[in-house]
Structure 1
Amino acid sequence: MNITERFLNDEQDPKAVEKVLGKLSDMLVTGEELLYLAVQKKPAVNLLPDCIVVSNKRIFYCEPANFGITMNFKDISWKSIKEVSFKEELFGSKFICVPQHGENIITEYIPKVQARKLYQAAYEQLEAFKEQQRNTELEERRAAQQQQPQQPLVITEIPVQESIPEPEPVVYIPAPEPAPEPEDETTLKLRKLKTLYDKQLITQEEYEAKKASILADL
């Protein structure tokens, strides 16, 4: 099976496939492989269909120009893609590519079978790229941590001071405290009430009400 026959299993337009592959063969970089090719099928006239090609490095958008004499190519790498999706409609499906920056790239009238396989190929490659990127970032962080110089251990010697004899303690004889005056009955009630409140044995509302009652008796 030659390279053209590989992309005709889902009723792709043979002429469109042959023309696109002939142009793309000179655009592939080292190690790049084409994985799937979908051809637009418009419901009315389908003389100049657009094509979408997924490779292991990017997505190609191929649009005929000048009445099919020339073709415009636009590609977007997996690094620049945020997500891909497709939406089935009455006439075929929409294939949607969401870039990291800028507007979504939407291609309509992709046959439903081709849209599913196109999405599957694109999704798998995008997830593989993200996983590779995560592993690369993890390795870079590990390498950076290993390259950080370790701080040398500094031991500071503390000089030993000669002991100085302590002075003889001075004994102070405190003056006798004056005997506390006996509390009146109102002060004693307020003190007990405050103790009950501090121990959370009564609520603030009960405390305020009882306090007001005691003060009202003065």
Structure 2
Amino acid sequence: MISIDRFLSDEQDPKAVEKVIGKLNDLLTTGEEILYLAVQKKPAVNLLPDSIAVTNKRIFYCEPGNLGLTMNFKDISLKNIKEVSFKEELFGSKFICVPQTGENIVTEFIPKTQARKLYQAANEQLETHKALLKEKQDEENKAAAAASYVAPQSFAEMEPVETPEIKEPEPIQIAEVIEEPEDETTLKLRKLKTLYDKHLITQEEYEAKKANILDSL
């Protein structure tokens, strides 16, 4: 059984940690271990907080169900995650997981210290996973190159080859393409949309700033 003591270093709810760890212990695969556990802390009633656990293989989302009598688990493998981030707010932080495909997974009200350490643990595992994938790909490329290598023939083995007549290539006309630079308003709208897509501003802030930009035309 996994000890919960090391997951209580940043004021996590002991009852929530005990319940989650007890369930997660049965879900871990061979060689998989929990690296960090963050527990939601809602500003008002915090009886049934959600939890997020980072392992060396996955990110688990743990949500209480049936008034706390059951626990719902969802997980996403590191290979299916594009990036993670967090955004500090007035009441805790948002932890954002961006999958390779599909919508972002956003969890609110994570205590700020826990959100920072959650991000650090998840990001480190992502970087390690990407490095291992690159190393594997490099090895496969080297193996493929070695398999396709053909040893050069000696001069004695080579058959004489007639030198073909070399014709002067016809000049190629290249049409000049002139790209018109985007105007300042378009650039502002593009940057504003990027901030909204990354959950760095709310929809209300996005709509208000967009209206301001359009009004200035």
- Settle same-fold status: TM greater than 0.5: yes
Indicate the structure (1 or 2) with the bigger Cα radius of gyration.
1
1:73 aligns with 2:73: yes
1:31 is paired with a residue of what secondary structure? Answer: coil
Cα–Cα, structure 1 residues 110 and 157, in superposed 2: closer, same or farther, change >3 Å? closer
Deviation for aligned residue 1:152: 6.5
Aligned residues: 157
Name the residue aligned to 1:117.
117
Question: 1:11-35: CA deviations, max 9, x gaps?
Answer: 0000000000000001101110100
Which residue in the other structure is 1:155 paired with?
A: 158
Q: Which letter maps to 2:138?
A: L
Alpha-carbon distance, 1:117 to partner: 0.5
Deviation digits for residues 5-54 of structure 1, max 9, x if unmatched? 01001000000000000000011011101000000000011110000000
The amino acid of 1:7's aligned partner reads F
Amino acid at match of 1:84: V
Distance 2:91 2:40 in 1: 11
**Paired amino acid for 1:73:** F
Provide structure 1 residue ranges, at least 5 long, that are not aligned to the other structure. 159-218
Residues 96-175 of structure 1 aligned to structure 2 (within 5 Å):
96-150=96-150, 153=153, 155-157=158-160
Task: Tell me the secondary structure at the aligned position of residue 32 of structure 1.
Answer: coil
Distance 1:139 1:116 in 2: 35
- Separation of aligned partners in 2, 1:84 and 1:3: 27
CA distance in 2, matches of 1:98, 1:144: 33
Q: Structure 2: how far apart are the matches of 1:4 and 1:123?
A: 23
CA distance in 2 between partners of 1:92 and 1:3 (Å)? 26
Paired position in structure 1 for 2:93:
93
What is the alpha-carbon root mean square deviation over aligned residues?
1.4
Is there any run of 5+ residues in structure 2 with no aligned partner, and where? Answer: 162-217
Distance across 2 between alignment mates of 1:96 and 1:157: 66
Equivalent-residue separation in structure 1 for 2:26 and 2:43 (angstroms): 32
> Secondary structure at 2:142's aligned position in 1?
helix
